[in-house]
Amino acid sequence: MLALPATLGAMLLSWWIYVPIHELFHAWGCLLTGGTVSRLEIASTYGGIWVAFVVPYVVPSSEYAGRLSGFVTGGSDSVYLVTVFAPYVLTLLVGLPLLRLAQRTANPLILGAAVPVAYSPFISLTGDYYELGSILVSRILAPWWPQAVLQWRSDDLPKLLGARFGSGAGNALAGDALGIAGSVALGTLLAFGTYQAGVWIADRLMAASGDSSLSSRQRADV
């Protein structure tokens, strides 16, 4: 009877903790690959005020839960890709292993804690994963459609669609629609790929843990 409230409570707490860590990983990914960071927005609801005391480039205000709004990649798409993808290392190494552990132990607290991190690629289909897809698609097509780099890249797909195709927007071309659709499709594939890679890692970790436990029992029996 208490399993559902426990799962939901752990899920909410996990989400509240995960949001600022997610945003910090964006910044750290940029910095570790040679970029620079000047402004990372984290809403005060998610502890932005406290994080700002420790991290100088954090601003405790945002129209989003959090957003890396000031960063420079030096024109490198490699730095840009790492910057966007960096938080999903947590999906691979924390979220999916925790989800597998929750399934093995039937622990509602672990399940709730795992869900936001494990499923974050799908939560971010119109955000980070659209952005990942748009970076790759626009770079591939830039020799034939130079404006793609400026017109298709965004971390907010609904806002981009409004700007490109909404009332009062400029003259968007069919090529823009195809490019954005291709970016959505590729971003979705990348999200599923991230999830499946995390499942593979989690299964390997669970198998290793099982082998270790078995070896320990065997040694105890000798």
The predicted-structure confidence for 52-83, as pLDDT tens digits, reads as follows 999 999 999 888 999 999 999 999 999 999 99
With a cut of 60, say whether residue 222 has pLDDT above it: no
pLDDT for 175 equals 82
Taking only the tens place, the pLDDT of each residue in 161-184 is 988 887 665 566 788 899 999 999
CA 84 – CA 72 distance, rounded (Å) = 12
Average pLDDT taken over every residue of the chain: 90
Taking only the tens place, the pLDDT of each residue in 77-105 is 999 999 999 999 999 999 999 999 999 99
Greater pLDDT, 83 or 209: 83
pLDDT for 62 equals 85
Dihedral sign computed on CA atoms, order 215, 196, 112, 54: positive
Contacts of 121 (CB under 8 A, 6+ apart): 88, 91, 129, 190, 191, 192, 194, 195
Helices (H) and strands (E) in the chain, counts: 11, 3
Greater pLDDT, 110 or 176: 110
The token pair that represents 79 in the structure block: 């730095």
| Most confidently modeled range among 22-31, 138-147, 165-174 | 22-31
Which 8-state DSSP code applies to residue 91?
I
pLDDT for 221 equals 43
pLDDT for 11 equals 95
Closest CA to 50 of 12, 21, 15: 21
- The helix or strand, by DSSP H or E, that contains position 64, with its residue range, turns out to be none
In this prediction, residues 93-119 reach a mean pLDDT of 95
Q: Binning pLDDT at 50, 70 and 90, where does residue 219 land?
A: very low
pTM: 0.90
CA 123 – CA 118 distance, rounded (Å) = 10
With a cut of 70, say whether residue 213 has pLDDT above it: no
Describe the crossing of helices 174-221 and 96-105 by its angle, rounded to 10 degrees: 50
